[in-house]
Structure 1
Amino acid sequence: MKNKIWFITGASKGLGLALVKQLLQQGYRVAATSRNLQDLTKAVGNKSDAFLPLAVDLKNEKSVEKGIHETIAHFGAIDVVVNNAGYGLTGSLEELSDEEVRQNFDINVFGVLNVIRKVLPYMRKQKSGHFFNIASIGGFTGSFPGFGSYISTKFAMHGFSESLAAEVKPFGITVSIVSPGYFRTDFLDASSLAVPKNEIADYKLVREAQHAHQNDINHNQPGDPVKAAAVMIEVAEQKQPPLHVFLGRDAYQLAEAKIKAVQHDMAAIKELATSTDHDQ
């Protein structure tokens, strides 16, 4: 049996499920959460010495705290946390209501922060731990029309994860921001991708992007979630795991294009933009 104990949210499907299955096959001990316990046990199996399925509402701090406490009671520790739960939301920023955007942030941002907040006391005490915060390539480059809300939640994750990495380094805790490209999961199905309640006809480009993701891209994504899970397990075993983990060739291409674009813009006005100090 492998030593590290994993705690994974959003584990009943997609990358989370692929990760749980692979970890259990390799002899790790895993606690996994889902909103629906029946879906989780149907996908993975019932509670055992190596597997602890948990029904957790990430928006509820007490529910999160209970799930973490049960994991510690069952396994004695938590070594690796995978903040994987989240959902997509399409729609232009003008179309989306305040309620729709806030619900997106409640799960994708504040739900993750709830897990981090409740598990850190245990990790600080044991002087070790590793967070995998599952963002998206859309959290690094935002040029996807109709995904402004979802992308902003993932940009937020990139930001707070970088700060978290600096804050917890003195305690021997590491952070990896995982930015997948397009992987063949059910993320673009209706169960994981919400659409605006009130569409505006003028946003033809947004509707085209929405239609493409729901129909053309869905289940034709190039990435294999089983291979992505294998990468994460290998990264978790490294002595110095990287902060930024881009997954997939498409993610690398998009990230490199963003970096070049930023460098181009910086160079274009460098002399003007750096002439702002008092001594100049």
Structure 2
Amino acid sequence: METKKTWLITGTSQGIGLEIVKMALANGDNVVATARKVQSLKKVVGISSANFLPIEVDLLDEASIQAAVMFAEETFGSIDVLVNNAGYGLMAGIEEASKEEVQASFDINVFAALGMVRAVLPGMRKAGKGHIINISSVFGLIAGKGWGIYCATKFAMEGFSEALAEELTPFKLKVTIVEPGYFRTNFLKNGSVALPSKELTEYTEISEIKRMHSQEIVGNQPGDPEKAAQVIYKISEMENPPLRILLGSDAIKYAGYKIEQLKTQMAAHLQLSVSTDFNQ
């Protein structure tokens, strides 16, 4: 008989996060889901169960995070799986984005995730088990115009996740970075993607990217969020889960571009690269 797991998931009101909640509950697991509006979360999840604990958390407040984790552990015991899914995009050129807008992006996409990690790790280490799943993006591997700040936050998540995976190896705790491509969620609408307060018309290509995302890409993304949740659940069941998992054929394509770009540039400038060593 398989042991019931306890999940702590952020960013659960829509999209992949919501589907992970439903998937875990369907498998009989305990789910602690964070939200700013608990009643709205209960409504969209649509499941009444003793295994489901929606809690109000301010992810920008470390004390709120710590209190939520403590409450979850008191209710269900140790957290087996943390899913850092909360986040939002800033579709802006680098010059367009203000200091405040950049800070807000890092606060949610990076610092909130770090706060959750710090909060769950003492319990996971004590229990001798646990899996941290950080929802990044294929834009955590490859950057593109108009998405520079969002990419920077995801590059940061990838970096700390890689280091964290090594740091937690002695404790037998696991870390997985999930890198979705475009999924048919409400991410591109419903306030999940912000625009800069100051838009510069000189950046015509970025203006076109904004238009494409709002008019053409939204509603036509290739990825199915329910299938993404199924894959993430399968990964949570693995004895040796991957450090990274790309989700979607488009993510595979974009990652392939980055790999080829790195290989080409390394080969082209190899002699320059190695010329900086001391003479033997």
Asked if Structure 1 and Structure 2 have the same fold, meaning a TM-score greater than 0.5 normalized by the shorter chain, the answer is yes
Partner of 1:97: 98
Kindly, what percent of the aligned residue pairs are identical? Answer: 48
Letter matched to residue 188 of structure 2: L
The alpha-carbon deviation at position 48 of structure 1 amounts to: 3.7
The alpha-carbon deviation at position 191 of structure 1 amounts to: 1.4
The alpha-carbon deviation at position 145 of structure 1 amounts to: 1.2
SS in structure 2 of the partner of residue 31 of structure 1 = strand
The alpha-carbon deviation at position 62 of structure 1 amounts to: 0.7
The alpha-carbon deviation at position 214 of structure 1 amounts to: 1.4
Letter matched to residue 42 of structure 1: K
Deviations 1:127-167 (A, max 9, x none): 1100110000001000x211111110000000000000011
Pairing 1:196-207 to 2, within 5 Å after superposition = 196-207=196-207
TM-score normalised by L of structure 1: 0.97
Partner of 2:176: 176
Partner of 1:134: 135
Please say if 1:7 is aligned against 2:8: yes
Deviations 1:215-246 (A, max 9, x none): 21111100000000000110111110000110
Deviations 1:41-81 (A, max 9, x none): 11114764211001111110011011111110110110000
Counterpart-to-counterpart distance in 2, 1:84 and 1:221: 19
Partner of 1:24: 25
Letter matched to residue 11 of structure 1: T
Deviations 1:1-60 (A, max 9, x none): 852111100111110001101111121111111121122111114764211001111110
Partner of 2:231: 231
Counterpart-to-counterpart distance in 1, 2:221 and 2:85: 19
Letter matched to residue 89 of structure 2: G
Unaligned runs of 5+ in 1: none
Unaligned runs of 5+ in 2: none
The alpha-carbon deviation at position 272 of structure 1 amounts to: 2.1
Partner of 2:256: 256
Please say if 1:106 is aligned against 2:107: yes
Letter matched to residue 253 of structure 1: K
Partner of 1:212: 212
Partner of 1:52: 53
The alpha-carbon deviation at position 273 of structure 1 amounts to: 1.2
Structure 1's 221 and 148: CA in aligned 2 closer, same or farther, altered over 3 A? same
The alpha-carbon deviation at position 203 of structure 1 amounts to: 0.8
Deviations 1:170-198 (A, max 9, x none): 11101000000000000000410100101
Partner of 1:222: 222
Pairing 1:63-74 to 2, within 5 Å after superposition = 63-74=64-75
SS in structure 2 of the partner of residue 30 of structure 1 = strand
Structure 1's 48 and 73: CA in aligned 2 closer, same or farther, altered over 3 A? farther
Contact 1:47 1:53 in 2 (8 A): no
Letter matched to residue 122 of structure 2: P
SS in structure 1 of the partner of residue 131 of structure 2 = strand
Partner of 1:192: 192
Task: Give the superposed CA RMSD.
Answer: 1.2
Contact 1:46 1:53 in 2 (8 A): no
Letter matched to residue 22 of structure 2: K
